[in-house]
Copies of this chain bind each other. A is one copy, B any other.
Amino acid sequence: MQRRRAVAKAITLLESTRPDHRARADELLAQLLPHSGRSVRLGISGVPGVGKSTFIEALGLFLIERGHRVAVLAVDPSSKVSGGSILGDKTRMERLSVDERAFIRPSPSSGTLGGVAEKTREAMLVCEAAGFDVVIVETVGVGQSETAVAGMTDMFVLMQLPNAGDDLQAIKKGVMELADLVVINKADIDPDAATRAQAQVTSALRLLTQHGRAMAWAPHVMSMSALTGEGLERFWQTVEEFLAVQRGGGALEARRKQQALEWMWERIDAGLRSEFRENPAVRELLPQLRNEVAAGRVAASTAARKLLDARRT
């Protein structure tokens, strides 16, 4: 209990926007960092109704029974508006949330996706330093949050319903190609539909990757039922198989390196943009120039140069 409270407190500090808190947060991060990184980072995405909570609770209970310590985090940029659509309501994972070997934290609600993702990344480091060796990051299938979650985890799992057309939606949104593993859930309801969906996704993935280079790991597809637990053990075996392959060739280390650098640049870009918007000269000029550009009276490139120059004088 002590440990969970300390983790929660640390994350609250990291989520604070007060400048003095931010300085202490950076110190804390520096202290934590050498103890972080020793976990399996698992990203899980899927549209609302696909059964993510049921799956994560079942998986969490399965893992703590086997000696793991499981942290569940979330990235949901809409949580501010909706009042926390995922993980906000802890009763959704009743059994897991009361277990001391598990830690569940709803999505931070700091507005932009980049901001929310940053807080979740930092929370992940806290959980790792506190000894949680499986960190699950959940997201809903909206906007670019899947890309953010795939960008902070070792393995990205896409959950799908056994519906025709679902695979096409995922391909369209570019989520399918992020997936290391596609899970067709709710196979208990209609096993035939699940089998068909599995075949569909398998052939879609084959077409998506056929023009690419040879991969150490071709994305897998499996069907299961989170509700009955059927397929859960197979799921975890697949995760372990994936990790073995990735660790062997150094791909896991390379992935984490690249993720860290991309994260750094994403934060730099966000910082530059917010500085720019807060600059007094920009605040004065922007509204009018924006209108002129929209009306076609000033070229967009000219307006951009004017605004950039205005800050320097």
Q: How far is the CA of A272 from the CA of B265 in the complex (A)?
A: 12
Q: Indicate whether A169 sits within 8 Å of B211 (C-beta atoms), given known contacts A261-B293, A264-B293, A273-B269.
A: yes
Q: How far is the CA of A169 from the CA of B171 in the complex (A)?
A: 9
Q: What number of copies of this chain does the assembly contain?
A: 2
Interface flag for A290 (CB, 8 Å): yes
Q: Indicate whether A301 sits within 8 Å of B37 (C-beta atoms), given known contacts A272-B276, A273-B272, A307-B268.
A: no
Interface flag for A122 (CB, 8 Å): yes
Interface flag for A177 (CB, 8 Å): yes
Is B308's CB under 8 angstroms from A275's CB?
yes
Task: Specify which chain B residues have a CB less than 8 angstroms from the CB of A271 in the assembled complex.
Answer: 304-305, 308
Task: Specify which chain B residues have a CB less than 8 angstroms from the CB of A290 in the assembled complex.
Answer: 261, 264
Interface flag for A296 (CB, 8 Å): yes
> Shortest beta-carbon distance, A165 to chain B, in Å?
5
Is A302's CB under 8 angstroms from B30's CB?
yes
Task: Specify which chain B residues have a CB less than 8 angstroms from the CB of A30 in the assembled complex.
Answer: 298-299, 302
Is A299's CB under 8 angstroms from B122's CB?
yes
Task: Specify which chain B residues have a CB less than 8 angstroms from the CB of A34 in the assembled complex.
Answer: 297
Task: Specify which chain B residues have a CB less than 8 angstroms from the CB of A296 in the assembled complex.
Answer: 33, 36-37, 256-257, 260
Is B168's CB under 8 angstroms from A264's CB?
no
Is A298's CB under 8 angstroms from B33's CB?
yes
Q: Given known contacts A168-B204, A257-B295, what 6 new A-B pairs fall within 8 Å (CB)?
A: A30-B299, A171-B172, A257-B294, A268-B276, A269-B272, A271-B305
Task: Specify which chain B residues have a CB less than 8 angstroms from the CB of A177 in the assembled complex.
Answer: 172
Q: How far is the CA of A289 from the CA of B267 in the complex (A)?
A: 14
20 A-B pairs with CB atoms under 8 Å apart are: A29-B302, A36-B296, A169-B211, A172-B208, A261-B290, A264-B293, A264-B300, A264-B301, A264-B304, A267-B304, A268-B273, A268-B276, A268-B304, A269-B272, A269-B273, A271-B304, A271-B308, A272-B272, A272-B273, A272-B308
Residues of A within 8 A of B (CB): 22, 26, 29-30, 33-34, 36-37, 118, 121-122, 125, 165, 168-169, 171-172, 174, 176-177, 204, 207-208, 210-211, 256-257, 260-261, 263-265, 267-269, 271-273, 275-276, 289-290, 293-305, 307-308
Task: Specify which chain B residues have a CB less than 8 angstroms from the CB of A37 in the assembled complex.
Answer: 296
> Shortest beta-carbon distance, A48 to chain B, in Å?
13
Task: Specify which chain B residues have a CB less than 8 angstroms from the CB of A264 in the assembled complex.
Answer: 289-290, 293, 300-301, 303-304
Q: How far is the CA of A307 from the CA of B122 in the complex (A)?
A: 18
Q: Which of B165, B267, B273, B301 lies in contact with A118, CB distance below 8 A?
A: B301
